Amino acid sequence: MKINNIKNWVISLAIVMSAGGAILTMAVPQVVMAADTNCNSGFLGFPAWYRGLTNADCTIKSPNDAGGLSGFIWHIVLNCIEIALVAVSYIAAFLVLYGGFLFIVSQGKPEGAARARTTMLDAVVGLIISMASVALINFVIDGIWK
The reported pTM is 0.60
User: What does the pLDDT read at residue 118?
Assistant: 92
Contact yes or no for 83/47 (Cβ under 8 A): yes
Taking only the tens place, the pLDDT of each residue in 39-89 is: 766 677 788 888 778 877 878 888 887 778 887 888 888 888 888 888 888
Query: CA–CA separation, 112 vs 67, rounded Å?
Result: 54
Helical axes 110-145 vs 68-105, angle rounded to 10°: 160
| Amino acid 62: pLDDT | 82
The per-residue pLDDT for range 91-115, each reduced to its tens digit, is 888 998 999 899 899 888 889 889 9
Half-sphere exposure of 38 (CA within 13 A, CB side): 11
Residue 67 three-state SS: coil
Task: Compute the distance between CA of residue 76 and CA of residue 61 in angstroms, rounded to an integer.
Answer: 12
